[in-house]
């Protein structure tokens, strides 16, 4: 997988984490827009949990950790005078976090469709 990414993304840990954070942000903006637009009709998209709670959880556990991970993986080793994390660690961690955001949104969508 690391070979498939542009070399500029692999030069520093914050680049990949910030990119995934921005993509997650855009995805959440689209989901939130769809939720607000659906309120014009009889049904909402996010009935599984209150929309305010879904928004708060996705911001707190979805977007902010990606940006903080990128910042900490980049600035933390400099401040502490230690070696930076391996590329595999800073590829895997933000990737799993972004996968969690997509999974959460899929769970909300499947819950609306009556899958559970």
CA distance 44 to 59: 20
CA distance 58 to 54: 6
Read off the pLDDT of residues 29-74 as tens digits, 9 standing for 90 and up. 887 787 777 777 666 555 567 777 777 888 888 888 888 888 888 8
- How many domains does the chain divide into? 1
108 pLDDT higher than 80: no
Asked if 101 contacts 62 with a C-beta cutoff of 8 angstroms, the reply is yes
Q: What is the pLDDT of residue 6?
A: 72
Read off the pLDDT of residues 7-30 as tens digits, 9 standing for 90 and up. 777 777 678 888 888 888 888 888
Nearest 10 degrees: Cα torsion 41, 39, 65, 104:
-40
CA distance 57 to 51: 10
Q: State which residues form the domain around 100.
A: 13-112
């Amino acid at each position: 997988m690391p070979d498939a990414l542009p070399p500029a993304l692999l030069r520093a840990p914050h680049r990949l984490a910030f990119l995934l954070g921005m993509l997650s942000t855009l995805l959440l903006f689209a989901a939130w827009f769809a939720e607000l637009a659906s309120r014009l009709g009889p049904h909402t998209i996010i009935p599984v949990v209150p929309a305010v709670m879904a928004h708060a959880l996705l911001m707190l556990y979805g977007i902010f950790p990606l940006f903080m991970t990128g910042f900490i993986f980049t600035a933390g080793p400099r401040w502490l005078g230690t070696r930076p994390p391996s590329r595999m660690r800073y590829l895997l961690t933000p990737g799993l976090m972004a996968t969690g955001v997509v999974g959460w949104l899929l769970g909300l969508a499947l819950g609306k469709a009556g899958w559970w």
